[in-house]
Structure 1
Amino acid sequence: MPSVMMSELSWDTYQRQLREEDAIVIVPVGAVEQHGYHLPLGTDSLMASYMARRAAENVGGIVAEPVAYGARSQVRTGGGPHRCGTTSLNAETLIAVVHDVLVEIGRHGARKIAVIDSHFENRFFLDEACHRAQQTLALRGHDARILKMLYAERIEPETMDAVYAGMDNPPGLDLEHGGILETAMMLYCYPDLVDMSRIADETPPGFPPYDLFPVEPAWVPESGCLSSGKTASREIGEMLVEEFVTHVTDSLRKEFRR
């Protein structure tokens, strides 16, 4: 069977899958962003690509090359842009890049396109990119539909109970940057890239209900994480990842009838 990865297909194999099989083309979008001492800078892009690949295998899709860079990290959701290695795009650039990629994929003949996001700050800029791309394609006579979702858009309550089992004061999703969820998922998907010995056990930050510009680095713990991932495990990661893969797969099947 041909690979699901666009970069590993010859042009004519890719064309045949689009024309004869009406394949869903999935575009992963991530970020290059610090995730503490124990996780790699590419965590978001790696996870977006992993989710896209697993979903593509389930629905007979094709995974386009990922858009690795994302929107600017925000202090209260990603630790902010001040740590070395965090490499972001301006909003206008991200919108333009994703728009152009989607339009090109539509030009190739894809009628079913999905954008799978893994970086919270990308959210509204991807909305705009998808909206503009669909309009552009329609004006050029292409009837492509575009689905966009954050792969972790929904987490079942019982799953969260299991993730935070035994914790008196769980950090919650608002402080999960570099915490239990991402650490556990990386342990399941990319264990060689996780160094559990370097997890910092810091007090979660108490953010004010506003932002400052320029950003205030002192608001963020020294490691850059917003909560500790010390209780993360491969088992928790498997539970989360398999749930998210199911959500993405079900969404693609629902909208594209695969």
Structure 2
Amino acid sequence: MKVHFVIHESFEAPGAYEAWVRDRGHQASYSRVYQYEPLPQSADGIDLLVVMGGPQSPSTSLAECPHFDAAAECALIAQCVAAGKAVVGVCLGAQLLGAALGAPHERSPHREIGQFPIMLTADGKANDKFADFGSSLPVDHWHGDMPGLTPDAKVIAFSEGCPRQIVDYGDRVYGFQCHMEFTPQVVERLIAASERELAALGTQRFVQQPAALRANDHGAMNQKLFGFLDRLSAAPRARCRRASSARGWGPSWCGPIR
């Protein structure tokens, strides 16, 4: 399997996603946009697209962040969805995924930084890709926004602080607002990049400070992510997908994939 990562900042690393690629013997390629590496020109040669997080939002302009082209990323996402590729968006990536399908991102009711449980909905419990998640699972968070919902989207999981933690946008297309890929190394990078932010947020209900962040265990969460990715990669390729044609990001319909 050929997995392509879109990485927006050095401190928003793929973590356990990259470990899964390595452990399963898949091939990884990268668009480190913070180093001005280009996005793929098309969905060709990609089996799984993973779009990572970042401090930007889908509404961030090139003037505000010259290395982040939201429209270009949405176009790539829409192409991959239309071609029946597997797509996973993480945090900002989940918001871009929703936007590429015509659902603008929104503010989350609460800012979440740290490890807090997510709860599966009835749709989540019925989805076999999440068969070993149980009813509740402690996972990591670092966000203030959440992905939009298309008319056909299904919320797989929510948390006390955010109603959209995992979203099913269709066959093999998922948005993760939560960060199941975090490892101790990734968390250290985020802490180093967010010292002022963490200090300013103080004792908000769903915000942990560095000592608590460093004490969190990520192993069980990472293993659940591996199981999801195994089932996602084994799922049959989607035969028909819909993508938003608003703003010219992709076709509104695609026929059977030959």
TM-score bracket relative to the smaller structure: 0.3 to 0.5
Task: Please tell me whether Structure 1 or Structure 2 has the larger radius of gyration of its CA atoms.
Answer: 1
TM-score (norm. length: structure 2): 0.40
